[in-house]
Amino acid sequence: MTTLLGVPIRVRDTVYGNLYIADKEAGVFTGEDEDLVTALASAAGVAIENARLYERLRQATEEFQRRLLPDLPTLPGLELEARYQPSTEVPRIGGDWYDLIRLPDQVPCLMVGDVMGHGLEAATVMSQISNMLRVIAFDQQEPPSRVLHRLDDALHQLHGGPLATVVIARLEPAPAGGRIMRWSSAGHLPPLVATPGRCRHLPEEVGLPLGVDLGAPRPDHECRLSAGATVLLHTDGLVEERGHPIDDGMRQAAAAAARHAVDPLPELCEALLAQRQDAFHDDVALLAARLTA
């Protein structure tokens, strides 16, 4: 090595390293060479700093979102798991959430929803809707469709009717054993039910989202569940992929759940997320409940 030019990779008072150029073909390094390498080092420093800031923002956004989500209770006869996966595209706060409460009649109530849009406004509305839904479901103990009607009406009067999708399900004890899931949806994807040897999204009508039509019919549906069955409620980020019909994503999710239907519940949840291969164009909220008795 006959010639060497080095400049620090610096942003303000922080030095991230050094950039070296060696063995100039013709002569020694000049002041112009130094100016050029300094400019390259400066650009590299800005890129490194931006990457670090981006990662800090991503971590802060994800932590804020997770703090808005509840801890799952411990309920007899049920194994519970939940996952929240933020979008991998840009750090942003979303409107996806999950919740599970035990009602005064001791019936578990599962809820998953998605507020239209992103950002702080969507997260604020999400927090309001999830809290209102929890209170209405707990206080009234009515069929899921009636709970959604009450929620839609309250949101219209208090907040002007924000657009959101919600699915709510009661897991009621069945006289002959197992459970009867009574559920209703406001424009949200139906529950995914996994049993050994079979897994499918329930085919019933899901109705209109909240904030569209206060008089829209919201039917209740029933599904008989035996011990070992797993109910999975999720937002559309789990099954949506740009350029592909959502039905394709739903079939892929059902196939993944079928392959892992008898695996431990944490592994089943991770398998559902893994089938997206870390490419999440939207946030994902996933709530899983497995009947153990």
Residues 50 and 187 in one domain: no
Residues 6+ apart with CB under 8 A from 232: 191, 192, 193, 194, 257, 272, 286, 287, 288
Centre a 10 Å sphere on the Cβ of residue 19 and count the other Cβ atoms it contains.
17
Residues 25 and 99 in one domain: no
Spatial separation of the C-alpha atoms in residues 29 and 36, rounded to whole Å: 11
Closest to 162 (Cα-Cα) out of 126, 108, 135: 126
Residue 151 to residues 210, 213, 293: CA-CA distances in angstroms? 8, 12, 32
pLDDT at 22: 86
**Domain span at 35:** 4-62
| Tally of domains within the chain | 2
Has residue 90 got a pLDDT over 70? no
Closest to 269 (Cα-Cα) out of 21, 83, 91: 83
User: Tens digit of pLDDT for each residue in 246-271?
Assistant: 999 999 999 999 999 999 999 999 99
Residues 191 and 80 in one domain: yes
| Residue 205 in domain | yes
- Dig out the tokens for 141 from the structure: 């103990």
The pLDDT confidence band at residue 61, using thresholds 50, 70 and 90, is: low
Name the percent of the chain lying above pLDDT 90: 54
Residues 86 and 206 in one domain: yes
Residues 129 and 263 in one domain: yes
pLDDT at 113: 96
| Residue 197 in domain | yes
The pLDDT confidence band at residue 91, using thresholds 50, 70 and 90, is: low
The pLDDT confidence band at residue 69, using thresholds 50, 70 and 90, is: confident
